[in-house]
A = this chain, B = another copy of it.
Protein backbone atom coordinates (compact mmCIF):
# COMPACT_ATOMS: atom_id res chain seq x y z
CA UNK A 1 0.00 0.00 0.00
CA UNK A 2 1.22 3.50 -0.78
CA UNK A 3 2.36 5.73 2.10
CA UNK A 4 -0.25 8.28 1.05
CA UNK A 5 -3.10 5.80 1.49
CA UNK A 6 -1.78 4.59 4.84
CA UNK A 7 -1.73 8.22 6.00
CA UNK A 8 -5.33 8.67 4.89
CA UNK A 9 -6.48 5.80 7.11
CA UNK A 10 -4.42 7.07 10.05
CA UNK A 11 -6.04 10.49 9.61
CA UNK A 12 -9.53 8.97 9.38
CA UNK A 13 -8.91 7.03 12.59
CA UNK A 14 -7.76 10.19 14.39
CA UNK A 15 -10.61 12.37 13.10
CA UNK A 16 -13.25 9.75 13.97
CA UNK A 17 -11.74 9.22 17.42
CA UNK A 18 -11.65 12.95 18.22
CA UNK A 19 -15.19 13.50 16.98
CA UNK A 20 -16.42 10.61 19.09
CA UNK A 21 -14.73 12.04 22.22
CA UNK A 22 -16.39 15.42 21.62
CA UNK A 23 -19.85 14.01 20.96
CA UNK A 24 -19.58 11.87 24.11
CA UNK A 25 -18.51 14.86 26.22
CA UNK A 26 -21.36 16.96 24.80
CA UNK A 27 -23.94 14.27 25.59
CA UNK A 28 -22.72 13.88 29.15
CA UNK A 29 -23.20 17.61 29.80
CA UNK A 30 -26.87 16.68 30.30
CA UNK A 31 -25.90 14.86 33.53
CA UNK A 32 -24.21 17.91 35.05
CA UNK A 33 -26.64 20.51 33.78
CA UNK A 34 -29.68 18.49 34.78
CA UNK A 35 -28.22 17.90 38.25
CA UNK A 36 -28.64 14.16 37.83
CA UNK A 37 -27.35 12.15 40.79
CA UNK A 38 -25.26 9.74 38.71
CA UNK A 39 -21.49 9.40 38.23
CA UNK A 40 -19.91 8.70 34.80
CA UNK A 41 -19.18 5.06 35.76
CA UNK A 42 -22.78 4.60 36.91
CA UNK A 43 -23.95 6.19 33.66
CA UNK A 44 -21.79 3.71 31.68
CA UNK A 45 -23.65 0.87 33.40
CA UNK A 46 -27.05 2.49 32.85
CA UNK A 47 -26.27 2.90 29.15
CA UNK A 48 -25.37 -0.80 28.83
CA UNK A 49 -28.61 -1.78 30.55
CA UNK A 50 -30.54 0.53 28.20
CA UNK A 51 -28.95 -1.24 25.22
CA UNK A 52 -30.09 -4.62 26.57
CA UNK A 53 -27.22 -5.87 28.73
CA UNK A 54 -28.88 -6.93 31.98
CA UNK A 55 -26.73 -9.78 33.28
CA UNK A 56 -24.22 -8.79 35.99
CA UNK A 57 -21.60 -11.11 34.52
CA UNK A 58 -21.86 -9.55 31.05
CA UNK A 59 -21.89 -6.01 32.45
CA UNK A 60 -18.67 -6.76 34.34
CA UNK A 61 -17.10 -8.30 31.24
CA UNK A 62 -18.10 -5.44 28.96
CA UNK A 63 -16.99 -2.71 31.33
CA UNK A 64 -13.89 -4.58 32.42
CA UNK A 65 -14.43 -4.33 36.13
CA UNK A 66 -15.00 -6.89 38.90
CA UNK A 67 -18.50 -8.29 39.37
CA UNK A 68 -18.57 -6.84 42.88
CA UNK A 69 -17.93 -3.37 41.41
CA UNK A 70 -20.87 -3.82 39.03
CA UNK A 71 -23.08 -4.93 41.92
CA UNK A 72 -22.14 -1.71 43.71
CA UNK A 73 -22.76 0.49 40.65
CA UNK A 74 -26.12 -1.17 39.90
CA UNK A 75 -27.06 -0.78 43.58
CA UNK A 76 -26.40 2.96 43.36
CA UNK A 77 -28.40 3.55 40.17
CA UNK A 78 -31.22 1.45 41.59
CA UNK A 79 -31.14 3.47 44.82
CA UNK A 80 -31.42 6.68 42.76
CA UNK A 81 -34.34 5.31 40.76
CA UNK A 82 -32.77 4.82 37.31
CA UNK A 83 -33.38 1.06 37.24
CA UNK A 84 -35.54 -1.40 39.13
CA UNK A 85 -35.99 -5.14 39.47
CA UNK A 86 -39.03 -6.84 38.06
CA UNK A 87 -40.11 -10.29 39.17
CA UNK A 88 -40.42 -12.89 36.43
CA UNK A 89 -44.00 -14.12 35.94
CA UNK A 90 -42.94 -17.70 35.18
CA UNK A 91 -40.36 -18.05 37.94
CA UNK A 92 -40.63 -15.77 40.95
CA UNK A 93 -37.02 -16.45 41.93
CA UNK A 94 -35.81 -14.77 38.73
CA UNK A 95 -35.41 -10.99 38.89
CA UNK A 96 -34.83 -8.89 35.81
CA UNK A 97 -33.12 -5.51 35.71
CA UNK A 98 -35.28 -2.87 34.02
CA UNK A 99 -35.02 0.81 33.13
CA UNK A 100 -37.39 3.10 35.03
CA UNK A 101 -38.99 6.17 33.36
CA UNK A 102 -36.30 8.30 35.09
CA UNK A 103 -33.53 6.13 33.62
CA UNK A 104 -35.11 6.14 30.16
CA UNK A 105 -35.56 9.91 30.33
CA UNK A 106 -31.90 10.49 31.11
CA UNK A 107 -30.60 8.23 28.34
CA UNK A 108 -32.97 9.82 25.81
CA UNK A 109 -31.93 13.33 26.85
CA UNK A 110 -28.26 12.42 26.40
CA UNK A 111 -28.92 10.87 22.96
CA UNK A 112 -30.98 13.92 21.94
CA UNK A 113 -28.17 16.24 23.05
CA UNK A 114 -25.73 14.23 20.93
CA UNK A 115 -28.02 14.49 17.90
CA UNK A 116 -28.37 18.26 18.35
CA UNK A 117 -24.58 18.57 18.56
CA UNK A 118 -24.21 16.60 15.31
CA UNK A 119 -26.88 18.81 13.74
CA UNK A 120 -25.00 21.98 14.75
CA UNK A 121 -21.75 20.60 13.33
CA UNK A 122 -23.17 19.30 10.05
CA UNK A 123 -25.84 21.89 9.27
CA UNK A 124 -23.34 24.37 7.79
CA UNK A 125 -21.87 21.75 5.45
CA UNK A 126 -23.01 21.43 1.83
CA UNK A 127 -25.97 18.98 1.92
CA UNK A 128 -24.48 17.08 -1.01
CA UNK A 129 -21.31 16.41 0.99
CA UNK A 130 -23.33 15.38 4.06
CA UNK A 131 -25.23 12.93 1.87
CA UNK A 132 -21.95 11.44 0.60
CA UNK A 133 -20.75 11.25 4.20
CA UNK A 134 -23.86 9.40 5.28
CA UNK A 135 -23.51 7.04 2.33
CA UNK A 136 -19.97 6.08 3.36
CA UNK A 137 -21.00 5.60 7.02
CA UNK A 138 -23.85 3.35 5.93
CA UNK A 139 -21.55 1.18 3.82
CA UNK A 140 -18.96 0.94 6.59
CA UNK A 141 -21.53 0.06 9.28
CA UNK A 142 -23.05 -2.53 6.96
CA UNK A 143 -19.65 -4.11 6.39
CA UNK A 144 -19.05 -4.45 10.14
CA UNK A 145 -22.52 -5.81 10.76
CA UNK A 146 -22.08 -8.48 8.11
CA UNK A 147 -18.68 -9.45 9.55
CA UNK A 148 -20.10 -9.71 13.08
CA UNK A 149 -23.02 -11.80 11.79
CA UNK A 150 -20.60 -14.13 9.98
CA UNK A 151 -18.64 -14.64 13.18
CA UNK A 152 -21.80 -15.35 15.17
CA UNK A 153 -22.88 -17.91 12.59
CA UNK A 154 -19.49 -19.58 12.60
CA UNK A 155 -19.84 -20.09 16.36
CA UNK A 156 -22.88 -22.34 15.98
A residues with CB within 8 A of B: 1, 5-6, 8-13, 15-20, 22-23, 39-41, 43, 63-65, 111, 114-116, 118-119, 121-122, 124-125, 129-130, 132-141, 143-144
What are 23 of the A-B contact pairs (CB < 8 Å)?
A1-B119, A8-B130, A8-B134, A9-B116, A9-B118, A9-B122, A10-B115, A11-B134, A12-B118, A12-B122, A12-B134, A13-B115, A15-B140, A15-B141, A16-B16, A16-B137, A17-B20, A17-B23, A19-B140, A19-B141, A40-B64, A122-B140, A129-B135
**Residue in B12, B13, B118, B129 whose beta carbon sits within 8 Å of that of A16 in the complex:** B118
Asked if residues A16 and B19 are in contact (CB atoms below 8 Å), the reply is yes
Given A8-B134, A64-B39, A132-B133, answer yes or no on A139-B115 (Cβ-Cβ < 8 Å): no
Asked if residues A13 and B135 are in contact (CB atoms below 8 Å), the reply is no
Asked if residues A111 and B20 are in contact (CB atoms below 8 Å), the reply is no
Which label, helix, strand, loop or mixed, suits the secondary structure of the A interface?
helix
